[in-house]
Amino acid sequence: MKILNYLETRPASRYDEFDPNQDGNKNTKFADLIIDGRSLYQMLRKHDMVPSLGWGSEEHQRNMIDYFLLNKQHEYLYFRYPMLVCPWCGDEECGFISVYIQRENDIIIWQDFKVEPSAKSINIGPFYFKWDNYKRVINDTFRTAGIQ
């Protein structure tokens, strides 16, 4: 049997208030995804990208939520979705970390994380979430950092 993971979210930012690296850099605020008490952003921080949920325009945020809830397929990634993106603009052309998302009955599976566009695999996951928990958490990311 697969071990179920617990997903939650919390507002976060790229730099804490005392981090000297924030000078001259964009301190993007976003919805951090917390898996079993561990920050996905912190787990993947070395890639200098931020979660794609909770920030950007209203249209962008709704689009990301639709992707993660599998209401909409990505136009060229199909069942892969941009999990972490450029902290400056969120544009996929700057590079991003993608994840393969699938649903099996009431379980959502995140697996096969890759740095794009090189498709280099990242040794993390898979993660299994109950649909009810997952759907609530993903919907709750809307407006985490406001609308930009």
Give domain status of residue 86, yes or no.
Answer: yes
Give domain status of residue 73, yes or no.
Answer: yes
CA distances from 146 to 16, 33, 45, 87, 106 (A): 18, 17, 22, 15, 30
One digit per residue, the tens of pLDDT, for the chain of length 148 reads 579 999 999 998 876 666 566 556 666 889 999 999 999 999 998 998 999 999 989 998 999 999 999 999 888 888 899 999 988 887 788 889 999 999 999 999 999 999 998 989 999 999 999 999 999 999 999 888 776 6
Stated length of the chain: 148
Give domain status of residue 76, yes or no.
Answer: yes
Q: Which domain holds residue 40?
A: 29-140
Residues ≥6 apart with Cβ < 8 Å to 140: 9, 31
Whole-structure pTM value: 0.87
Tell me how many domains the chain contains. Answer: 1
Give domain status of residue 146, yes or no.
Answer: no
